[in-house]
Amino acid sequence: MRLGRLVGVRLKINPLLLLLALVYGWLGLGAEVLLVLAAVLLHELAHLVAARGLRVAVQEVELLPFGGQAKIEDFTGLEPEKETIIALTGPACSLTIAAVFYFLTPYLSLAKAEFFITINLLLGLFNLLPVLPLDGGRVLRAQLSRWQGYKKATARMARLGQIAGVALVLWGVYETFSSLTGLNIILAGAILFWSARREGQLLAYSFMRYLVNKKGDLARNGHLPAQQYVSKPDTLVKTILQASSPTYYLLVVVISDNHQVQGMVSEAELIECLFEKGPLATISDC
């Protein structure tokens, strides 16, 4: 379900989160539901502000009980340094809010302040777990991608996320026998499992979306402007891709040190190479 826009980015709410909010509202916990949504929105706002500052375009964010899942505009935002900074701003924001309200509570008469502190504390700490799609998993994925490539790193971290989801569900089932709070844990585990499974598809989505748009332009017009570059084999792929644009197709002519043409690499091959080999991939790896 679409909520609107936050700093220019489309916001959606996960159906299970919406159902959970309605159930708790019906049980008379409307104020708590609003505080949870406020904490999640502030958490995601921190991510989006950081992304905008680093010029990483985010297309859409889906709100989940433990944060959000973002679709980047295209693959060019997948740089380890940028992804690490963007991922850490969310937990940092949540933990900072928890600390500020903790110290302000004795001096201000704030209703539900303790609950808001707890929610932000849990949101910040939970998101530091090193599994996708949580922020800690994005940080670890960014570092692993330097050596394993984005595809393999994403697959491994998403698999850990699914395992964590199953573990939460089992824990929730155990807790349900002693208290109804176990139902919350089961739901959180189910959403984590589903989100982790979908995370691997988002990377492929950005790649396919970028190329499909160009193929569509080629099919409609019968031609597409090309930008040609001459490169040595040891040039980093990400350096070349920084010059890519949706308005033209990128072709790279590879030459040796004695200026002999060794071959040509297409934009699709460059992108696939970046995903497979990571940010340290060179033209020769393609």
Q: Active-site residue numbers? A: 44
Q: What is the DSSP string of 83-120?
A: HHHHHHHHHHHHHHHHHHHHHHTTTS--TTHHHHHHHH
What is the DSSP code (8-state) at residue 149? -
Query: How far is residue 49's CA from residue 68's CA, in Å, rounded to a whole number?
Result: 14
CA atoms within 13 A on the CB side of 255: 9
Q: Are 192 and 161 in contact (CB under 8 A)?
A: yes
SS in 3 state form for 201-215?
HHHHHHHHHHHHHHH
DSSP state letter for 282? B
Report the distance separating Cα 231 and Cα 259, nearest Å: 10
For 139, the 3-state DSSP assignment is: helix
